[in-house]
C-alpha cells in the first residue's frame, strides 16, 4: 500500500477538504506531507507545505548544531575516553540564593542544546525535561548562600560541582567544563564559551539554570517584595531598591552586600 492510500484510507486527494488536509499534516512527518501534497494547488495546502518546509529547515539547523557541538566530545573519544560528561553552573553572580551545578552524559542526540541563557524560557523548560528523561546520566549539586558566605563563590561553585559529580553515580573518563580549569576531575578540559560549543556542557547549563530558577521562583512566596521570581537574585534595579527598603532576607549572600553599608 502506498503512502497516500495508507494515510487517506483510499480517499482521492482531490476530494479532501482543507480541514482534512490539516489533519493529514498533523499525522505525517513533514517530508511525508510534502510528498503526499506535491500535486495539490489549494492555497491552504500550499501554506501547509511552506510550514512543513520551515520545520524541515529548522530540524536541519538543529542537527547541524548538534554535529558541531559534538566535536569536543569526539576529540576525547578519539583519545580513548569512553564516558565523557559536560559540566556547568548557574548562579555565581546573584546577590541571593544558591549556586547550582550540573553534569550530564549523553549517549544520543537531543536537538536544540546550546547556552541556556540564549534559549527562551519555554524551550529551556522543554529541554530540561527531555535531558532528565533521555540523558545517559546526570547529577545536580548545590552550594547554599550560607556556604558561599563561609568561603567564597569560587570555592562554593567547586563544592556544588563536586556534589553534582557524586550525584552522577558513574565514573567519568573525561569532563568538559565551561570557562577555566577548576581541578575537580583528573581529566578535565575547559572550553571558554563551552556552553555553546559542547552538547554536554549546554545540557548541564540548562539543568543548572532551570533548577536554580525554579527554586528562586518558589522563594518569591517565602520572601515577597524582593522580586525573586523576576530577577532570580541578580542585582537588578528592582532588587536593589527592595534591598534598600527591606534589607536582606535569609537567602541573601551577606558577603555580596557590602555596598549596602556604603550607601
30 part of a folded domain: yes
Task: Judge if 77 and 48 occupy the same domain.
Answer: no
Task: Judge if 42 and 122 occupy the same domain.
Answer: no
Q: Using CA atoms, how far apart are residues 175 and 126, in angstroms rounded to an integer?
A: 25
- Encode pLDDT of 180-203 as tens digits: 999 999 999 999 999 999 999 999
Q: Using CA atoms, how far apart are residues 238 and 58, in angstroms rounded to an integer?
A: 37
Q: What percent of the chain has pLDDT over 70?
A: 95
239 part of a folded domain: no
Structural domain of 16: 3-68
Task: Judge if 30 and 111 occupy the same domain.
Answer: no
Q: Quote the crossing angle between the two packed helices 30-37 and 18-27, to the nearest 10°.
A: 140
Q: Using CA atoms, how far apart are residues 4 and 24, in angstroms rounded to an integer?
A: 10
What number of residues does the chain have? 263
User: What pLDDT sits at residue 7?
Assistant: 53
| pLDDT tops 80 at residue 228 | yes
| pLDDT tops 70 at residue 10 | no
| pLDDT tops 60 at residue 81 | yes
Q: How many Cβ atoms from other residues are within 10 Å of residue 202's Cβ?
A: 31
Task: Judge if 160 and 86 occupy the same domain.
Answer: yes
Mean pLDDT computed over every residue of the chain? 93
Per-residue HEC secondary structure of the chain comes to: CCHHHHHHCCCCHHHCCHHHHHHHHHHCCHHHHHHHHCCCCCHHHHHHHHHHHHHHHHHHHHHHHHHHCCHHHHHHHHCCCCCEEEEEEECCCCCECCEEEEEEECCCCCCCCCCHHHCCHHHHHHHHHHHHHHCCEEEEEEECHHHHHHCCHHHHHHHHHHHHHHHHCCCCCEEEEECCCCCCCCCEEEECCHHHCCHHHHHHHHHHHHHHHHHHHHHHHHCCCCCHHHHCCCCCHHHHHHHHHHCCCCCECHHHCHHHHHC
Task: Judge if 156 and 57 occupy the same domain.
Answer: no
Residue with cell 541563557: 117
236 part of a folded domain: no
Task: Judge if 51 and 78 occupy the same domain.
Answer: no
Amino acid at each position: 500500500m502506498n503512502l497516500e492510500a495508507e494515510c487517506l484510507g483510499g480517499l482521492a486527494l482531490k476530494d479532501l477538504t482543507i480541514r482534512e488536509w490539516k489533519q493529514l499534516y498533523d499525522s505525517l512527518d513533514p517530508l511525508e506531507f510534502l510528498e503526499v501534497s506535491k500535486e495539490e494547488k489549494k492555497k491552504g495546502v500550499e501554506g501547509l507545505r511552506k510550514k512543513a518546509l520551515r520545520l524541515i529547515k529548522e530540524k536541519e539547523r538543529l542537527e547541524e548544531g548538534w554535529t558541531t557541538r559534538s566535536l569536543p566530545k569526539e576529540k576525547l573519544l578519539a583519545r580513548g575516553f569512553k564516558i565523557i560528561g559536560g559540566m556547568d553552573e548557574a548562579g555565581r553572580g546573584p546577590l541571593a540564593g544558591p549556586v547550582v551545578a550540573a553534569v550530564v552524559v549523553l549517549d544520543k542526540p537531543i536537538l536544540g542544546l546550546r547556552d541556556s541563557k540564549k534559549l527562551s524560557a519555554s524551550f529551556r523548560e522543554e529541554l530540561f525535561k527531555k535531558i532528565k528523561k533521555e540523558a545517559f546520566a546526570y547529577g545536580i549539586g548545590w552550594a547554599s548562600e550560607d556556604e558561599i558566605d563561609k568561603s567564597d563563590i569560587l570555592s562554593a561553585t567547586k563544592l556544588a560541582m563536586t556534589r553534582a559529580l557524586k550525584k552522577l553515580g558513574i565514573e567519568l573518563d573525561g569532563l568538559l567544563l565551561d570557562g577555566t580549569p577548576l581541578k575537580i576531575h583528573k581529566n578535565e578540559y575547559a572550553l571558554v564559551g563551552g556552553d555553546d560549543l559542547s552538547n554536554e556542557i549546554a545540557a548541564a547549563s540548562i539543568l543548572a539554570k532551570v533548577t536554580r530558577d525554579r527554586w528562586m521562583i518558589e522563594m518569591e512566596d517565602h520572601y515577597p517584595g524582593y522580586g525573586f521570581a523576576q530577577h532570580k537574585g541578580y542585582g537588578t534595579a528592582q532588587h536593589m531598591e527592595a534591598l534598600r527598603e527591606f534589607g536582606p532576607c535569609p537567602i541573601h549572600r551577606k558577603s555580596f552586600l557590602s555596598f549596602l553599608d556604603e550607601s
